[in-house]
Amino acid sequence: MYNYFKNIFALALLIGICGCSKTEDISEKFLIVKFKFDPTQARLNNVGQPATIPAGHAAQTPDFRQISAHYFELAPAPTTLLGNGEILYHAPETNAGGSVAIDFSKSILKSENEDYLKIPLKNIRPGVYQWIRVSLAYQKYGIKVRANNQDLDGTLESYVGYNTYITSHQINGQNFTVNGNRRQGYWAFALDGFPFSTSGIAPEGATTVPNPLFNTSPIPQGSCVVTGQFVNNLEIRGNETTDVVVTLSLSINKSFEWQEVNADGKYEPSIGENVVDMGLRGLVPTHNQ
C-alpha cells in the first residue's frame, strides 16, 4: 500500500512539473515573420521610385511558390547603417566554393504566409523600429514561355543573393549540378511536363534591389538587401502579451524581365531572349500591433 501511494505521489508530481513547463512555453511570446507576394504593389527601381519597363525589354508577373532570405534587420531610423540595427537572422555561409557564399543546402525555403522566422521577443532589443531590411537569396516561381509557336508553362529558380554555394538542385525532375559558387543573377529553368531545361546568369548588377534609403543608408553593390518602411512603427517593449506578427509584402509586379528579340511581350528563350532582371520590386512591411 505504501508503494502504491508513493507511486501515485510521484506521478502527480511529474504531471505537475510537466504542467508548469507547458504553461511557461505557452506564455513565451514571439516575433513571427511571414512573406506575402503582391502582384499589384508598386513596381519600384533601385532607389524606391516607380519604374517602367525599359524600351526593348518586356516583363511578366510570375506565379510565386517559394522564397528564401539570407538576412533580416530592424532599423530604428533612416540613418541607421546596414549592420547597426537589430539583426534578427543571418543564414549559414560557407567557403566551400572558394569565397564566402550563402550555403544553399542550409537555407530556409518557405511559401506565402508560412512562418519564416519565429524569434522569442525576449531576444530582441526593445525599441521603436521604422524600417526593416531583408537580404533575399532565392525565388522559385512559374513563368510563361513561348516556343515553337506555343505558349507553355515552366518553373524558374532564381538565385539573387550576393553569392550562393550550390551543390545541385532539381526542377521538375531535371537535375542541375553546380558544385560551386554562383553570383547574383544565376537562374535555372525547366518546362512543366516536357524534358527541357536550361540555365544562365543575368548581367552583373542588373538585379533590382529597392532601397529608399540609398542616400542615408546605402547597401553593398551586388547584395539583395531590400528595404521597406513600416506603415506604422514597430515597437518592441519586451513585455508583450501576444505574438507580434510582421508581414513582408513583396512586389512581384512584372518582376521577371527579359530583353526582347521578337517584340511580342512573350518570353522566347529559344530565339535568344535573355533574362536581365529577377529582382523583387518593393517591400511594404506591416504588423499586427
DSSP class per residue in 50-104: B-PPPTTEEEE--EEEEEEEEEEEEESSTTPPTTSSEEEEE--EE-TTSS-EEEG
pLDDT in tens, 136-180: 999 999 999 998 889 999 999 999 999 999 999 999 999 999 999
- pLDDT of 25 reads 56
Residue 12's pLDDT is what?
43
Rounded CA separation 121/241 (Å):
10
Q: What is this structure's pTM? A: 0.89
pLDDT of residue 27: 87
Residue 166, C-alpha cell as written in the block: 550550390
The answer, yes or no, to whether residue 238 has pLDDT greater than 50, is: yes
Mean of pLDDT values over 95-109 = 97
Summarize the chain as % helix, strand, coil (round to 5): 10, 50, 40
Q: What is the mean pLDDT of residues 209-225?
A: 95
Separation of alpha carbons 258 and 265, rounded Å:
9
User: How many angstroms separate the CA atoms of 17 and 70, rounded?
Assistant: 39
Residues above pLDDT 90, as percent of the chain = 87
Closest of 68, 117, 65 to residue 88, by C-alpha:
117
Q: Is the pLDDT of residue 7 over 90?
A: no
C-alpha to C-alpha distance for 168 and 150, rounded to whole angstroms: 30
Tell me the average pLDDT across 270-277. 93
